[in-house]
């Protein structure tokens, strides 16, 4: 059974895409669809080895401190995974980054249903001998991303330590590593909006 992962911040887009994929006659077999509006969960779902990932990464740009955080999604994909990108709007930063990845179909949300169905049909039926010669290093580890999420929510070090089952001292170490990787001198510059993704 083909597996498709839909990653989109907008619940209407996710629901619509999941419906189109499930109901359209792009494949004779039933299709299993899972959807998420969370990049951390998306990274976990990549362990499911989906055949197709339909994503709008544009909606997540304001959350990212560095565009390379998307590398964790691509690095977790299998050699058979095809990426279909349907961004809400154009971003030079996102387009330049995605140009370095193996993208099966790249359009936007104004593309016709016929074009989308054709892309899905081709992705499901054509063999795609994608060489696994990618060397994509994720900027942050999964644990660092989880700590960063809690940190952004304003959780105290004690709460983060309790939630992650680590010591408070280890939380400090993770936070220091996160700041260094994201090029932030301190937590104030780290969470100031627009410090990293200024080219959106």
DSSP 53-112: EEE-GGGGTTT-SSGGGGHHHHHT--TT-EEEE--SS--HHHHHHHTTS--SEE--TTS-
Task: Report the distance separating Cα 15 and Cα 7, nearest Å.
Answer: 11
Q: Which fold has domain 135-199?
A: Arc Repressor Mutant, subunit A (1.10.10)
Would you say residue 197 has pLDDT above 60?
A: no
Q: What angle do CA 92, 62, 195 make, to 5 degrees?
A: 85
Q: What is the pTM of this model?
A: 0.65
pLDDT of residue 133: 46
3-126 and 135-199: identical CATH topology: no
Q: What residues form DSSP beta bridges with 3? A: 32
- pLDDT 10s digits, 25-67: 555 667 888 999 988 888 888 888 898 999 999 989 888 878 8
Domain residue limits, the chain: 3-126, 135-199
The CATH code of domain 3-126 reads: 3.40.50.2300
137 pLDDT band (50/70/90 cuts)? low
């Amino acid at each position: 059974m083909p597996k498709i992962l839909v990653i989109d911040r907008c619940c209407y887009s996710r629901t619509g895409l999941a419906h189109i994929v499930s109901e359209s006659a792009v494949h004779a077999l039933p299709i299993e669809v899972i959807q998420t509006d969370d990049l951390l969960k998306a990274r976990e779902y990549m362990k499911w080895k989906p055949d197709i990932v339909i994503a709008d990464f544009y909606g997540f740009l304001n959350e990212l401190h560095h565009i390379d955080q998307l590398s964790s999604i691509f690095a977790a994909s299998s050699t058979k995974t095809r990426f279909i990108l349907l961004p809400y709007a154009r971003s030079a930063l996102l387009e330049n980054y995605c140009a370095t990845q193996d993208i099966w179909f790249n359009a936007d949300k104004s593309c016709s249903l016929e074009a989308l169905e054709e892309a899905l049909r081709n992705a499901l039926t054509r063999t795609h001998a994608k060489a696994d010669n990618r060397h994509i290093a994720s900027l942050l580890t999964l644990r660092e991303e989880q700590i960063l999420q809690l940190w952004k929510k304003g959780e105290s070090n004690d709460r983060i330590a309790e939630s992650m089952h680590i010591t408070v001292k280890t939380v400090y170490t993770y936070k220091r590593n996160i700041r260094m990787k994201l090029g932030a001198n301190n937590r104030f510059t780290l969470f100031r909006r627009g410090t990293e993704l200024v080219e959106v």
